[in-house]
A and B are shown apart, each in its own frame.
Chain A
Amino acid sequence: MSSTDFKQDSGRSASRPPTTGDIIADRVFRGGAYAAGALVVLLLIYILWEIGFRAMPAIERYGFGFLTSAVWDPGQEKFGVLAEIWGTLYSSVLALVIAAFFGVGVAIFLTQDFLDARLAQVFRTVIEMLAAIPSVVYGLWGIYVVIPALRPVAGFLNETFGWFPMFSSSFSGPSMAPAVIVLAIMVLPTVAAISQDAFSLIPYKTKEAAFGMGTTRWEAITKVMIPTATSGIFASLVLGFGRALGETMALAMLIGNSNQISWSLFSPANTLASLLASQFPEASGIETQALMYAAIVLLVISLAVNVVGTLIMAMSSKQKVG
């Protein structure tokens, strides 16, 4: 095909010294490529600057007190995001614990020959599809499926184990528990995919060596495969945590948007992202600036987590090569 291409425009075939036009085109192209590369760096700087600039009045007015106060009262112009920081971290940690259990389980299931290769591919697609369902759809599903299903369970747990801080309040419908469950489902594909990579990077020889020593399949998995894949699994958890921190719509629909700090899974709570989603559209003046400040807090937390995750991932893949 390419040979006919060259014949067709034989007058300007590639096998001749570049003309001035070619050289200029080349310079422009290279310049454009460099610019596109630099664009991402500039974009991040611009995002930080733009949000920071808008938040400045609120940062000057509330300072660090913003991070240690749990009041959000536009009427009195008093703002603080302690409850949201708590809710963000608490929901993400709990969701990550669940997602880690299921996600790493799925990764082992798919990489350690529990399934025929073709079936494993089908199952992998099913797990990947979990990531394709939009956040709002999970929110809707959470309202009409998870919350009704949790009601009797939560009632029982609260009555029987009410002394335990996590079950210490009665179920309020939209609350931490359904939010955590849906969040775990949304993070699971990330954890499963990256841990699978970690497992499949281990040379087959390693497993053969373990089997050769007379281990059972599970001894090989728990004593050889999982320790070898640790850094990859850890990276998957950190990146999953980053995902969980920024998840917005499903949480805004399920967590109850209440400005309180509680250990109880059955009380409504709030997160930074759902605070932005629920308050921003109606905010004005100083509240908008306070929300920009909250956005900065979220930005800093999630950038830090993602930077750590990306670094760990880079380190673990270098280890494998070296």
Chain B
Amino acid sequence: MVAVMTELPGTPDLRHSLGDRRALRNTVLTVLLWVVAVGAAVPLVSVLYMLITRGGARLGTALFTQLPPAGLEMGGGFGNAVVGTLVIVALATLISVPFGILGGVFLGFVAPESKLADATRFIAKVLTGFPSILAGVFVYASLVLWMGTYSALAGGVALAVLMLPTIMLTSEQSIRMVPQRMKDAAFGMGCTETQAMLRVVLPTATPGILTGVMLAVAGAAGNSAPLLFTALFSNYWISSLGEPTASLAILIYNFSGMPFPNQIELAWAASLVLVLIVLAFNVLSRLISARRV
């Protein structure tokens, strides 16, 4: 059929031959784009390769049960840093989630059109690009100087400052996604705003909100700049929230510059563990958002 069509007299040839300048340009650009796209993925492959070969080599239970070695000492692990990271991130989550969700409720349900909501939304968006180290400077100035000591609590507050805008904006979005007719139905049954929120809107929006929380947690777990002078570091197990606390990210930072091979191996292993923790939360957020209706 096609063959018959092209043989009809007066039908132009619709195919591009490679000799045509335009077709050639088209092919060259397509090839170039493939090179660019593959090139963009190379760093990830290289980072993962290094993590698995250099970090995986040291993986074992000792890493999680022992303390960081000093100077030329061999062996050792970073159990305290794993615990410290989890404690600091948990604190940050505990602080930021209630305010974040309530703020999201405000933006998405209570007064979406108000002047305050416009201002809040704008500032939250601006704060998502806030340099993380400034959160550290802020908490140092407000909390560390006041308490007189570096602490896990200060680290948690610093990370909470960074998590808050993300949680707030994603909560707003998922609350807005709840169909208007469900809210109308709740009000039609005589619900007060609070009842409609707690019984209808929030349960429906929960998967979306959790996705945002998981993403914020993943971001916070890998974030180290704000911990530098809030949680600081410690070579010992954590015994209270009010004292300097080790974290994986700061351990990597400290060990990466050391001239000892043992410490550098540990830095790679800690990187692998840190990436696995971050990826776990990322995957979790994807799973939750995939289950969303």
Residues on A close to B: CB < 8 A?
A: 2, 5, 14-18, 22-23, 25-26, 29-30, 32-41, 43-44, 46-47, 50-51, 53-54, 101-103, 105-106, 108-109, 114, 123, 126-127, 129-130, 132-141, 143-145, 185, 188, 192, 216-219, 239, 242-243, 245-249, 252-253, 273, 276-277, 280-281, 291-292, 295, 298-299, 302-303, 305-307, 309-310
A37 near B120 with CB under 8 A, answer: yes
B44 near A33 with CB under 8 A, answer: no
Query: Measured between C-beta atoms, what is the minimum distance from A221 to chain B in Å?
Result: 8
B129 near A242 with CB under 8 A, answer: yes
- B213 within 8 A of partner (CB): no
The 28 sampled A-B contact pairs (Cβ below 8 Å) are A14-B186, A14-B189, A23-B192, A25-B194, A29-B194, A29-B197, A35-B102, A36-B106, A37-B110, A37-B111, A37-B117, A44-B127, A47-B161, A51-B138, A114-B34, A130-B43, A139-B256, A141-B50, A216-B22, A216-B26, A246-B130, A246-B131, A248-B132, A252-B253, A253-B253, A253-B256, A295-B133, A298-B134
Residues on the B chain within 8 Å of A114, using CB: 30, 33-34, 37
- B59 within 8 A of partner (CB): no
A43 to B119, CA, bound (A): 12
Residues on the A chain within 8 Å of B137, using CB: 51, 276, 280, 291-292, 295
A43 near B164 with CB under 8 A, answer: yes
Residues on the A chain within 8 Å of B111, using CB: 33-34, 37
- B71 within 8 A of partner (CB): no
- B41 within 8 A of partner (CB): yes
Residues on the A chain within 8 Å of B33, using CB: 105, 108-109, 114
Residues on the A chain within 8 Å of B44, using CB: 126, 129-130, 133
Chain B interfacial residues counted at CB < 8 A: 91
Identify the closest chain A residue to B98 (Cβ).
A36
Query: Measured between C-beta atoms, what is the minimum distance from A173 to chain B in Å?
Result: 12
The 6 closest A-B pairs by CB, nearest first: A246-B131, A134-B222, A36-B102, A105-B36, A33-B106, A37-B106
A14 near B134 with CB under 8 A, answer: no
B30 near A39 with CB under 8 A, answer: no
Work out how many contacts link A and B, with CB atoms closer than 8 A: 267
- B105 within 8 A of partner (CB): yes
**Pick the contact of B127 from A40, A137, A252, A280 — CB < 8 Å?**
A40
Residues on B close to A: CB < 8 A?
A: 16, 22-23, 25-26, 29-30, 33-34, 36-37, 39-41, 43-44, 46-47, 50-51, 54, 99-100, 102-103, 105-107, 109-111, 116-117, 119-120, 122-127, 129-134, 136-138, 140-142, 161, 164-165, 168, 186, 189-195, 197, 199-200, 218, 221-225, 228-229, 232, 249, 252-253, 256-257, 264, 267-268, 271, 274-275, 278-279, 282
B30 near A243 with CB under 8 A, answer: no
**Pick the contact of B131 from A32, A109, A188, A273 — CB < 8 Å?**
A273
Q: Contacts A18-B190, A36-B103, A102-B40 given: A133-B275 contact, CB under 8 Å?
A: yes
